[in-house]
């Protein structure tokens, strides 16, 4: 491995193989795509509150455009915001630093992974402008609707969407290979598996789950592509195909995928709790064991998304049972998080606020899942706004509360500056309030029977009592989106103008805090850190300091970068 | 939460509603417990001069057993919910009882057609009645619907009846329901089916016996009128 | 074990990339890649098998597949793998030129596989058998087509290694010959599943 010490602009910023630069590239991609995804959320909420009235910056959201917008909102938020923000960016930035390595096992593969993702994002964005418009089958793309342009009215947009997804799936799998191999083969001396921080464990859990789950949906994507382009009939009954096959292939991946987006946030929150409560995480072995069980179970629950499809009703019982069982490991982890906070010494800095906010909001998402997992109740609630509220109360906390927690926490290490604390706190408080104001009303209208994916609620006389709730949700959504500008301003402004950060502003034990801020190319000085303890030695009785770095002997000399 | 739950008009709508309320009660208790404890902890364990965090690892069984026990309580309640749910599920989805009325429901982009069989029980003869966007059923009777789609997946959702069933192309799916109140209710397509999905509504008329028969006669005349 | 590298006259400690039981990063990486690829083909084959169970009449259509050519292809791919294994041993013994010859043989056999497949496709098209003709043919073309792209990718990788080996120029790439061989065996194993399921199943599974 060679240290390139003189990097030109292109090698340093554009075609970088340095894991930290790749991480920042993924972060920027996620933030840019979030702006687009957020704009679409605004259009969706506008149409629901003020049907058929021209939306600012867009015009009238007609039903065909509405179908495209909801599809793109889902696809972008999950695959071009969620995965880059929670998997690619943190894994790339943190994994080598937290285990004491100089870079990833396969740096060029890493760079390729980013460029493939960027290409995928480009293809998706380009689909907005092709004849026929962009994909419009829902992010779940159920066949036969999505299998033929005679049903969706969209041809090229659909093809671009399928190819874009295939690319981002492959890119993410390649990234996952990198993270796993790096942790297995490149840990610093003394960094035994039990001393690896839990954030790394959860990032690996996510990577492993992803590349084991993605195969069937890639298979399905090829079949869907062929149906659209070559006139095959994998999913078209008229040609001997089976529509339910798509749903099985899709949800076999789709369910583990939500855990891919959930695991990293669990990791961040646990490490943040340890640092900001000055306390070891409670039940580390129990948490890791529960994670393994959760991964295994996540592959056998998928059909709970398909209860009402007309699949054999007796299949419902086994899937309902596995669905209940999978709540066990997650409930254990959730309780361990509480027990980590209890008896701690809490400082309410922004990363801690986000982690606490995650606990508060995700609880709602988790509990409302119980309504949907009970097949009898699901008969009424499936496909209503109750489901939309449920998954936003799980996904938004995972992606945004978790993502903001990670960015706030590791910002000083990434950029050598502190974020403005007042702005960060205000950002949290407003986001928390407005988020609840948008999505809580949706439980209510969903209970009232309002179904999802309809462009024009005014066409449904039975939904007229919901008008004021929908308007309230929409105004809150506009406030929620506007609030994110505080974060964007803080993020970019503080890069050059924030208070200069000390090396380890939070007095955290994990290795990344020993490196410079930002770490140079190659991360460490001439000698790699030597690890002599685990990451959770906080407030140990008998010690003068309430923290104990994992590599006390590391001196941290600079190297040319 | 339940302010807008539409009135239930079938023999099982009460079962589904009480199941939902039961789940709401249990989850509500845990919601209050957890959120309350979270707020308590944040207030009680704020950083204070002189007090130190407790170095507890939680790796010994003597500490963990409480976590596991607590979670097992939650899971037991969850299984109990599911047991109640299974009763409703079996009643509604795993069997079709003997019914007095059989209707074929044909969904397509973006309409509903309801076909009433002729006296031999056939749906494709000139004697069969086709009703466009209007489903009439006699009150108090069990209705068997045969669901099929002519193109993509749709979903037959009767909110007041509390019935929902995906409608698949290339297959006929059986479902059933009954009604106990005369009136006009809603039928909604609950699965994204294309650009016209937002307009794919139909109306459910629950009629008394006489009105129902009269309507069928009227429909017959309409279909064969002017001949 | 410490490794070091020197930059600007300063010695830097570097990782040694060793995993459990001496596995290298590369080997672990290829195994993980293979495990992910297995799930893709498992998804496709699983779907195909399910369809087959419910459509016994597909055995009439699969009867149109040329078992002779399929068998020839199987032999070609097995031999190709045999020579790739020998090529990897040759590199281990330090004989890059010998390994280059063996890799050339591997590539030739692999290309022959693709050529035979091309003839098959041409014959099928001329009989009016296209992907859109029926779902059986859709699966056949998708499965063999996807497999074919993996063969092509493997051939390109082996080609690059051959170009270095024939000039004794493998250098750091030495370990990659065995790793590419590992990938190549995976591609062969996929064919071992494809061939019987597509070509040899006659009376349908549900008998």
Per-residue exposure over B82-111, b if at least 16 CB sit within 10 Å of its own CB, e if not: bebbbebbbbbbeeeeebebbbbbbbbbbb
Residue C51 inside a domain? The answer is yes
Q: Do residues A541 and B55 make contact, with C-beta atoms less than 8 angstroms apart?
A: yes
Whether a cis peptide bond, with omega within 30° of 0, leads into B110 is: yes
Percent of chain C with pLDDT over 90: 69
Which element (helix H / strand E) includes B180?
A: none
Per-residue exposure over A331-357, b if at least 16 CB sit within 10 Å of its own CB, e if not: bbbbbbbbbbbbbbbbeebbbbbbbbb
Mean predicted confidence (pLDDT) in A170-175: 95
Q: Do residues B175 and B165 make contact, with C-beta atoms less than 8 angstroms apart?
A: yes
Q: How many CB atoms lie within 10 A of CB C16?
A: 12
Count CA atoms within 13 Å of residue A282 on its CB side.
25
Contact of B85 with chain A, judged by CB distance below 8 Å, is answered with yes
Whole-number pLDDT of residue B226: 47
| CB–CB contacts below 8 A, A to B | 283
Contact of C53 with chain A, judged by CB distance below 8 Å, is answered with no
Is C142–A2 a contact, with Cβ atoms under 8 angstroms apart?
Answer: no
Q: Which two tokens stand for residue B67?
A: 């976590």
Torsional sign, CA A282, A265, A116, A98? negative
Query: Residues of A with CB below 8 A from C33's CB?
Result: 173, 177
Do A and C touch, counting CB pairs below 8 Å (3 needed)? yes
Give all chains having 3 or more CB-to-CB distances under 8 Å with chain A: B, C
The partner residue sitting opposite A211, judged by closest CB among C7, C17, C36, is: C36
Query: Residues of A with CB below 8 A from C11's CB?
Result: 526
Which element (helix H / strand E) includes A346?
A: none
ipTM of the complex: 0.95
Model pLDDT for residues A394-413, shown as the tens digit of each residue: 999 999 999 999 999 999 99
Report the CATH number that the domain containing residue C130 is assigned in CATH: 1.20.120.80
Mean predicted confidence (pLDDT) in A258-283: 97
Whole-number pLDDT of residue C19: 61
Whole-number pLDDT of residue C32: 94
Q: Which two tokens stand for residue C45?
A: 């084959």
pLDDT in tens, chain B (227 residues): 787 899 999 999 999 999 999 999 999 999 999 999 999 999 999 998 888 899 999 889 888 898 999 999 999 999 999 999 998 999 888 888 888 899 999 999 999 999 999 888 888 888 889 999 999 999 999 999 999 999 999 999 999 999 999 999 999 999 999 999 999 999 999 999 999 999 999 999 999 999 999 999 999 888 887 44
Is B192–A375 a contact, with Cβ atoms under 8 angstroms apart?
Answer: no
- Residues 87 through 126 of chain B touching chain A, CB cutoff 8 Å: 87-89, 92-94, 109
Compute the distance between CA of residue C204 and CA of residue C207 in angstroms, rounded to an integer. Answer: 7
C-alpha closest to that of A199 among A179, A175, A173: A179
C-alpha closest to that of B152 among A247, A222, A216: A247
Mean predicted confidence (pLDDT) in A53-57: 93
What 3 state SS string does A224-275 have?
HHHHHHHCCCCCCHHHCCCHHHHHHHHHHHHHHHHHHHHHHHHHHHHHHHHH
User: Where in chain A are the domains?
Assistant: 11-514
- Quick one: pLDDT band at residue A3, thresholds 50, 70, 90? very low
Residue carrying structure tokens 């028969």 = B213
Mean predicted confidence (pLDDT) in A337-355: 96
Model pLDDT for residues A266-275, shown as the tens digit of each residue: 999 999 999 9
The partner residue sitting opposite A231, judged by closest CB among C40, C55, C132, is: C132
Whole-number pLDDT of residue A213: 96
Mean pLDDT of chain B: 92
Which element (helix H / strand E) includes B4?
A: none
B51 vs A507, which has greater pLDDT? A507
Whole-number pLDDT of residue A444: 96
List of residues 6+ apart from B203 with CB closer than 8 A: B133, B134, B135, B184, B185, B186, B187
Indicate the fold that domain A11-514 takes in CATH: Cytochrome C Oxidase; Chain A (1.20.210)
Contact of B74 with chain A, judged by CB distance below 8 Å, is answered with yes
Is C29–A230 a contact, with Cβ atoms under 8 angstroms apart?
Answer: no
Mean predicted confidence (pLDDT) in A291-319: 93
> Which CATH number does B101-224 carry?
2.60.40.420
A13 vs A270, which has greater pLDDT? A270
E-state strands within chain B: 101-108, 111-116, 129-132, 134-138, 142-149, 154-158, 163-167, 173-178, 183-189, 201-207
Q: Do residues A277 and A233 make contact, with C-beta atoms less than 8 angstroms apart?
A: no
Residue C173 inside a domain? The answer is yes
A32 vs B94, which has greater pLDDT? A32
Model pLDDT for residues C164-196, shown as the tens digit of each residue: 998 888 888 888 999 999 999 999 999 999 999
Give all chains having 3 or more CB-to-CB distances under 8 Å with chain B: A
Q: Is the pLDDT of residue A546 over 80?
A: yes
Is C32–A176 a contact, with Cβ atoms under 8 angstroms apart?
Answer: yes
Q: Which two tokens stand for residue B131?
A: 């009703």
Compute the distance between CA of residue C117 and CA of residue A213 in angstroms, rounded to an integer. Answer: 30
Is A539–B86 a contact, with Cβ atoms under 8 angstroms apart?
Answer: no
Q: What DSSP letter does each residue of A50-100 carry, written as one string? A: STTSPBTTTB---HHHHHHHHHHHHHIIIIIIIHIIIIIHHHHHHHHHHHT
Compute the distance between CA of residue C98 and CA of residue C89 in angstroms, rounded to an integer. Answer: 10
Q: At A58, phi and psi to the nearest 5?
A: -145, -45
Model pLDDT for residues A35-54, shown as the tens digit of each residue: 999 999 999 999 999 999 99
CA distance A375 to chain C (A): 26
Contact of B218 with chain A, judged by CB distance below 8 Å, is answered with no
Q: Do residues A187 and A104 make contact, with C-beta atoms less than 8 angstroms apart?
A: no
Q: How far is CA B175 from CA A130, B17, B102, B120, B203, in A?
A: 42, 19, 10, 21, 18
pTM: 0.93
Q: How far is CA A77 from CA A9, A169, A388, A396, C72, in A?
A: 31, 14, 14, 9, 49
Closest-CA residue of chain A to C33: A177
CA distance A215 to chain C (A): 4
C-alpha closest to that of A197 among A527, A534, A499: A534
Is B4–A445 a contact, with Cβ atoms under 8 angstroms apart?
Answer: yes
User: Where in chain B are the domains?
Assistant: 13-93, 101-224
Whole-number pLDDT of residue C207: 41
Residue C20 inside a domain? The answer is no
Domain count along chain C:
1
Percent of chain A with pLDDT over 90: 87
Best interface-test mutation with B: which of A70, A287, A310, A328 has the largest number of B CBs within 10 A? A310
Q: How far is CA B198 from CA A51, A66, A94, A197, A451, in A?
A: 12, 10, 46, 49, 10
Is A216–C36 a contact, with Cβ atoms under 8 angstroms apart?
Answer: no
Q: At A417, phi and psi to the nearest 5?
A: -130, 160
Mean predicted confidence (pLDDT) in A183-203: 94
C-alpha closest to that of B109 among C43, A254, A137, A494: A137
C-alpha closest to that of A19 among A126, A178, A152, A130: A178
Residue C73 inside a domain? The answer is yes
Is A233–C35 a contact, with Cβ atoms under 8 angstroms apart?
Answer: no
pLDDT in tens, chain C (207 residues): 457 777 667 777 777 666 665 568 889 999 999 999 999 999 999 999 999 998 888 988 888 999 999 999 999 999 999 999 999 999 989 889 999 999 999 999 999 999 999 999 999 999 999 999 999 999 999 999 999 999 999 999 999 999 999 888 888 888 899 999 999 999 999 999 999 999 988 764 444
Compute the distance between CA of residue A350 and CA of residue C140 in angstroms, rounded to an integer. Answer: 56
For residues B178, B181, B182, B186, the Cα torsion angle rounded to the nearest 10 degrees is -70
Q: Which two tokens stand for residue B50?
A: 């002189």
Is A332–B67 a contact, with Cβ atoms under 8 angstroms apart?
Answer: yes
Query: Residues of C with CB below 8 A from A188's CB?
Result: 15
Show the domain range for C51. Answer: 25-200
Mean predicted confidence (pLDDT) in A140-150: 91
């Amino acid at each position: 491995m060679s240290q390139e010490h003189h990097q030109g602009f292109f090698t340093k910023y554009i075609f970088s193989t340095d894991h930290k630069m790749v991480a920042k590239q993924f972060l920027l991609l996620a933030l840019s795509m979030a702006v687009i995804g957020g704009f679409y959320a605004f259009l969706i909420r506008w149409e629901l509150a003020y049907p058929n009235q021209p939306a600012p910056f867009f015009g009238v959201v007609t039903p065909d455009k509405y179908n495209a917008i909801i599809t793109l909102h889902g696809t972008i938020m999950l695959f071009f915001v969620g995965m880059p923000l929670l998997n690619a960016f943190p894994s790339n930035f943190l994994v080598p630093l937290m285990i004491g390595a100089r870079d990833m096992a396969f740096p060029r593969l890493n760079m390729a992974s980013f460029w493939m993702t960027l290409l995928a994002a480009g293809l998706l964005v380009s689909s907005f402008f092709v004849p026929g418009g962009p994909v419009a089958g829902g992010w779940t793309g159920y066949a036969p609707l999505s299998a033929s342009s005679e049903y969706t009215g969209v041809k090229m947009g659909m093809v671009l969407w399928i190819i874009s997804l295939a690319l981002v799936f492959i890119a993410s799998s390649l990234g996952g290979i990198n993270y796993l191999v790096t942790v297995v083969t490149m840990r610093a001396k003394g960094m035994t598996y039990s001393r690896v921080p839990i954030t790394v464990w959860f990032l690996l859990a996510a990577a492993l789950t992803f590349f084991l789950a993605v195969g069937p949906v890639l298979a399905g994507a090829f079949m869907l592509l062929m149906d659209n382009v070559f006139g095959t009939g994998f999913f078209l009954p008229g040609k001997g195909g089976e529509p339910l096959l798509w749903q099985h292939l899709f949800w076999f991946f789709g369910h583990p995928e939500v855990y891919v987006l959930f695991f990293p946030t669990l990791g961040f929150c646990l490490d943040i709790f340890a640092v900001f409560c000055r306390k070891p995480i409670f039940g580390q072995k129990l948490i890791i064991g529960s994670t393994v069980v959760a991964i295994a179970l996540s592959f056998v629950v998928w059909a709970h998304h398909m209860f009402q499809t007309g699949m054999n009703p007796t299949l419902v019982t086994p899937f309902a049972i596995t669905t209940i069982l999978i709540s066990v490991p997650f409930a254990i982890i959730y309780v361990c998080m509480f027990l980590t906070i209890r008896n701690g010494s809490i400082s309410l800095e922004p990363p801690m606020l986000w982690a606490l906010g995650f606990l508060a909001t995700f609880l709602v998402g988790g509990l409302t899942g119980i309504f949907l997992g009970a097949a009898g109740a699901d008969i009424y609630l499936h496909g209503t706004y109750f489901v939309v509220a449920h998954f936003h109360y799980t996904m938004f906390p995972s992606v945004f509360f978790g993502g903001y927690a990670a960015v706030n926490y590791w910002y000083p290490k990434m950029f050598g500056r502190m974020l403005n604390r007042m702005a960060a706190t205000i950002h949290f408080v407003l986001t928390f309030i407005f988020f609840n104001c948008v999505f809580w009303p949706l439980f209510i209208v969903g209970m009232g029977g309002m179904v999802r994916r309809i462009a024009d609620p005014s066409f449904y006389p039975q939904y007229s009592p919901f008008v004021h709730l929908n308007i309230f949700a929409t105004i809150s959504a506009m406030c929620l989106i506007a609030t994110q500008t505080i974060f964007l301003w803080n993020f970019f402004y503080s890069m050059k103008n924030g208070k200069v950060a000390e090396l380890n502003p939070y007095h955290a034990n994990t290795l990344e805090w020993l490196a410079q801020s930002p770490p140079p190319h190659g991360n460490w000085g001439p000698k790699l850190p030597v690890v002599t303890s685990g990451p959770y030695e906080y407030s140990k009785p008998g010690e003068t300091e309430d923290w104990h770095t994992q590599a006390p002997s590391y001196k941290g000399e600079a190297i040319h970068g | 939460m339940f302010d807008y739950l539409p009135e239930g008009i079938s023999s099982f709508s009460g079962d589904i509603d009480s199941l939902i309320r039961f789940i709401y009660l249990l989850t509500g208790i845990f919601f209050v417990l957890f959120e309350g404890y979270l707020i308590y902890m944040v207030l009680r364990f704020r950083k204070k001069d002189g007090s130190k965090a407790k170095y507890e690892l939680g790796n010994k069984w003597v500490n963990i057993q409480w976590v596991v026990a607590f979670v097992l309580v939650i899971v037991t309640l969850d299984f109990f919910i599911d047991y109640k749910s299974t009763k409703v599920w079996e009643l509604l989805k795993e069997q079709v009882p003997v019914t007095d009325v059989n209707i074929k429901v044909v969904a397509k982009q973006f309409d509903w057609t309801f076909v009433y069989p002729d006296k031999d029980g056939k749906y494709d003869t000139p004697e069969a009645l086709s009703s466009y966007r209007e489903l009439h059923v006699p009150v108090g009777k069990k209705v068997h619907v045969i669901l099929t789609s002519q193109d993509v997946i749709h979903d037959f959702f009767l909110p007041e009846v509390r019935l929902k069933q995906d409608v698949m192309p290339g297959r006929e799916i059986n479902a059933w329901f009954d009604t106990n109140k005369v009136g006009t209710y809603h039928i909604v397509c609950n699965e994204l089916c294309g650009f016209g999905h937002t307009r794919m509504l139909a109306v459910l008329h629950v009629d008394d016996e006489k009105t129902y028969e009269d309507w069928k006669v009227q429909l017959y005349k309409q279909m064969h009128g002017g001949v | 074990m410490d490794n070091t590298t020197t930059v600007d006259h300063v010695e830097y400690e570097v990782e040694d990339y060793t995993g459990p039981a001496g596995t290298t990063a590369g080997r672990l990486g290829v195994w993980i890649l293979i495990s992910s690829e297995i799930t893709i083909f498992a998804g496709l084959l699983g779907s195909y098998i399910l369809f087959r169970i419910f459509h016994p009449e597909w055995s009439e259509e699969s009867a149109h597949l040329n078992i002779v050519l399929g068998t020839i292809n199987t032999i070609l791919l097995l031999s190709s793998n045999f020579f790739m294994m020998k090529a990897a041993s040759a590199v281990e013994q330090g004989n890059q030129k010998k390994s280059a010859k063996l890799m050339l043989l591997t590539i030739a056999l692999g290309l022959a596989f693709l050529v035979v497949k091309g003839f098959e496709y041409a014959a099928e098209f001329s009989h009016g058998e296209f992907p859109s003709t029926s779902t059986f043919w859709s699966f056949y073309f998708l499965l063999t087509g996807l497999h074919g792209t993996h063969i092509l990718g493997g051939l390109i990788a082996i080609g690059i290694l051959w170009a270095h080996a024939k000039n004794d120029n493998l250098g750091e790439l030495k370990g990659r010959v065995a790793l590419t061989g590992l990938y190549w065996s995976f591609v062969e194993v996929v064919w071992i599943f494809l061939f019987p399921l597509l070509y040899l199943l006659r009376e349908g599974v549900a008998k």
